[in-house]
Amino acid sequence: MAEPDDGVPLQIHPCDAPHVAAIREIFNEVILTSTALFEYEPRSHETVRSWMEMKQAAGLPVLGCFSDDRLLGFASYGPFRPFAAYRLTVEHSVYVHAECRGRGVGRMLLKAIIAEASRNGLHLMVAGIEATNQASISLHKRFGFTHAGRIHEAGHKFDRWLDLDFYEKRLSAEADASAV
């Protein structure tokens, strides 16, 4: 089990209703300070609560990385596109609290969400990453994601155009059991 700087062991387990406020805080810091999410307005508590309920009702994972009871980050996935032939492809995301970045939390979460997707028999994982998001690109490359294409000027935020890069990883139960 990994440990953060203060020596408290980190644990990965599913998030639930009591974690909505902490998830919202992480989402909203990312929305307000970065181009990782293509949104302008902070999400309300109600929006994040509905998002969590939708995930749970659909059997989709929301995995958290915890130090004691504190949520340091979370990862989730959902359908890449809502059409039947995409049923074995998911698009995932990983968010780490601003105070906890660069300490391996993102690595733990991505490893866990890949393992979860493998366990659930999925075939392909896709990440849509804003083209200048070096932290996310490094993280995904480390786990074998490869660049699959770029949508130029897909978004506009903070007075500039945002390119969206897609990264893909094909899953195999054997390979992912020994993932990094």
Ligand X SMILES: CC(C)(COP(=O)(O)OP(=O)(O)OC[C@H]1O[C@@H](n2cnc3c(N)ncnc32)[C@H](O)[C@@H]1OP(=O)(O)O)[C@@H](O)C(=O)NCCC(=O)NCCS
- The footprint of ligand X (CB under 6 A) covers 30, 34, 36, 93-96, 101-107, 127, 129, 133-136, 138-139, 142
* Residue 77 contacts residue 125 (beta carbons within 8 Å): yes
**Shortest-Cβ-distance residue relative to ligand X:** 106
Order of strands across the sheet with 160-170?
10-14, 62-67, 70-79, 89-96, 124-130, 160-170, 146-157
Q: Measured between alpha carbons, how far is residue 67 from residues 28, 94, 156 in Å? A: 21, 17, 36
The least CB distance from residue 108 to ligand X, in Å, is 7
For residues 102 and 121, which CB has a smaller minimum distance to ligand X in the complex?
102
For residues 20 and 92, which CB has a smaller minimum distance to ligand X in the complex?
92
The least CB distance from residue 154 to ligand X, in Å, is 13
Residue appearing with tokens 């392909």: 124
The least CB distance from residue 105 to ligand X, in Å, is 4
Strand partners, 161: 156
For residues 57 and 141, which CB has a smaller minimum distance to ligand X in the complex?
141
The least CB distance from residue 106 to ligand X, in Å, is 2
Say which amino acid occupies 138. Answer: S
